[in-house]
Copies of this chain bind each other. A is one copy, B any other.
Amino acid sequence: MKRKIRMGMVGGSINSFIGPIHRKAALMDGQIDLVAGAFSYLPEESKATGEALFLNPHRVYDTYDEMFEKEKNLPGDQRIDFVSIVTPNHLHFDPARKALQNGFHVVVEKPMTFTVAEARQLKKVVEKKGLILALTHTYTGYPMVKEAKHLVAAGELGNIRKVYVEYPQGWLSTFLEGTGNAQASWRTDPKRSGAGGAIGDIGTHAANLAEYITGLKITEVCAMLNTTVKGRKLDDDSSMLIKFENGATGVLLATQVAAGDENNLNIRVYGEKGGLEWRQEEPNTLVMKWLNRPREIVRAGWPYLSDAAKGFIRTPAGHPEGYLEAFANIYRAFTNAFFDFKPGRKIDSNKYDFPGVDEGIRGMQFIETVIKSAKSSSKWTKMK
């Protein structure tokens, strides 16, 4: 019989940015309960977070190791079903691996790991344990992104020729990490963020979005990385020419020094027969462009949409859904998979439409390739 799914959380204290986002996303649809957590490496903060979230204090842990150990031994009608890992990047791999090894499904923030090697290792664990791993590339959770993917796959644009994808932000235009800002501090710190700055934090979202919508893999990049703000330890700006497996080409840019920009992730895809355009800041609109007839404004909530999009819409047309709902759609897809899950039955993330371990590997490859390209004086660097 169907029952509510029980979630434990690694990271995401009350002072974090992404913890509350995950919790709202997970809770919104009423299918998931948060019942346990190791919310911080500071036991006091973990405890305070558990209290603020009305958790049973016995299920608020000092470490994720403790959580996995103790939860594993709880009765089957109490123990957590999965963990959400929302720590900084350097703390994704270890808890993900251990969670899986202890029999828990995993939802993990991107980038999935610190290195490509870890990512590949994690895939092996996922496969060996036969469990679900969902990666929160949030933006593919937007219904109109799913509609875009559907329309491309249905051949509406014909063969794809051009892809322009951008993620400009402006929040790191100044030396924010020097002011004690927690978000800026870890995201610009190679020890916690990884080898990539902007390229890892937001460039991976752009690459993932492009590959998701087009169904095409990026095969080569020609990249420029910049550290624009003095004193910063990682890149805060990137732009690159890109090639896709079918011969399509394009541009990808991700920057954190586009002063005054918010989170203007956007993509344009052009094929032989038409083009499409989507912007995260106005996510319920998908613009379709045609060779010989008026543009169409495809909008969330209408009956004319594909089932691919409809399964992830909560409100009627004109009642905007946003970032939290896109996030919740990753959890919704995970939830759908969870309810179908049986030990020994392999879950295909594409079928349920959530980013999985393969997307996690692609992300790490992307970071590695871009950094390699940026250092090279040759034009093109292969991504593999």
Contacts and interface: CB of A to CB of B under 8 A. Distances in A.
A195 interface: no
A264 B317 CA distance: 10
How many subunits of this chain does the assembly comprise? 4
Given A3-B54, A27-B30, A303-B292, A21 B317 contact: no
Which of A303, A304, A320 has the most chain B CB atoms inside 10 A of its CB?
A320
Interface in A170-184: 170-171, 173-174
Interface string A293-305: 1111111011110
Interface string A262-275: 11100010111111
A162 interface: yes
Given A241-B240, A274-B260, A323-B321, A294 B304 contact: yes
A34 interface: yes
Contacts of A262: 299, 301, 316-319
A48 to B, nearest CB: 12
A354 B314 CA distance: 23
A237 B162 contact: yes
B259 A290 contact: yes
A88 B72 CA distance: 46
A161 B170 CA distance: 12
Contacts of A377: 378-380
A259 B250 contact: no
Between A17, A301, A325, the greatest number of chain B beta carbons within 10 A of the residue's beta carbon is seen for: A325
Contacts of A320: 280-283, 320, 322-323
Given A27-B30, A292-B304, A282 B280 contact: no
Interface in A124-144: none
A315 interface: yes
A261 B283 contact: no
Contact of A296 (B224, B240, B296): B296
Interface string A166-210: 001111011000000000000000000000000000000000000
Interface of A: 2-4, 17, 20-21, 23-24, 27-30, 34, 53-54, 157, 161-162, 164, 168-171, 173-174, 222, 224, 226, 228, 237, 239-241, 249-251, 253, 255, 257-264, 268, 270-275, 280-284, 288-299, 301-304, 314-325, 376-380
Question: What are the 6 A-B residue pairs with the smallest beta carbon separation, nearest first?
Answer: A260-B289, A262-B318, A263-B318, A320-B322, A319-B323, A294-B296
